[in-house]
């Protein structure tokens, strides 16, 4: 009886996780297809592709629980998750570089305004 409840809980939990992964994939694809060649496009593309890799890795790890392939399939999912995580971090870094570039430009403009005022 306890074992059946455990299987049911696992099934429900993995169903919820699968739904959340599908929602995450939908929004990543929506962001990926809505670019207009702006400054922030590169970072969002890398980040969206990283999220797609994270979703694929999550699905593979969830699938490994259903078909009991265990080790190899789960390890493959972890590897794909690692690639997705690295791409997401690179996307965030690209955004940070753009934002810090904007701060440098604004600091230089402030310095020029101070020189003109004096």
Tell me the pLDDT tens digit for each residue of 26-64: 888 888 787 777 777 888 888 888 999 988 888 888 787
Of the candidates 29, 28, 39, 36, the residue with the CA atom closest to the CA atom of residue 95: 39
Beta carbons of 74 and 64 less than 8 angstroms apart: yes
| pLDDT exceeds cutoff 60 at 118 | no
Q: Residue 16's pLDDT is what?
A: 86
Q: Residue 83's pLDDT is what?
A: 92
| pLDDT exceeds cutoff 70 at 23 | yes
**Between the CA atoms of 102, 103, 105 and 106, what dihedral angle is there, to the nearest 10 degrees?**
120
Which residue did the predictor score with more confidence, 54 or 66?
A: 54
| pLDDT exceeds cutoff 60 at 109 | no
């Amino acid at each position: 009886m306890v074992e059946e409840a455990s299987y049911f809980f696992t099934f429900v939990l993995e169903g919820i996780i699968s739904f959340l992964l599908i929602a995450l994939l939908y929004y990543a694809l929506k962001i990926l297809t809505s670019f207009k060649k702006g400054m922030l496009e590169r970072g969002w593309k890398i980040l969206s592709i990283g999220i797609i890799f994270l979703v694929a890795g999550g699905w593979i790890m969830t699938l490994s629980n259903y078909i009991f392939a265990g080790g190899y399939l789960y390890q493959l999912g972890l590897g794909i998750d690692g690639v997705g995580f690295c791409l997401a971090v690179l996307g965030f870094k690209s955004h940070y570089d753009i934002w810090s570039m904007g701060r440098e430009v604004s600091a230089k403009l402030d310095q020029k305004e101070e020189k003109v005022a004096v």
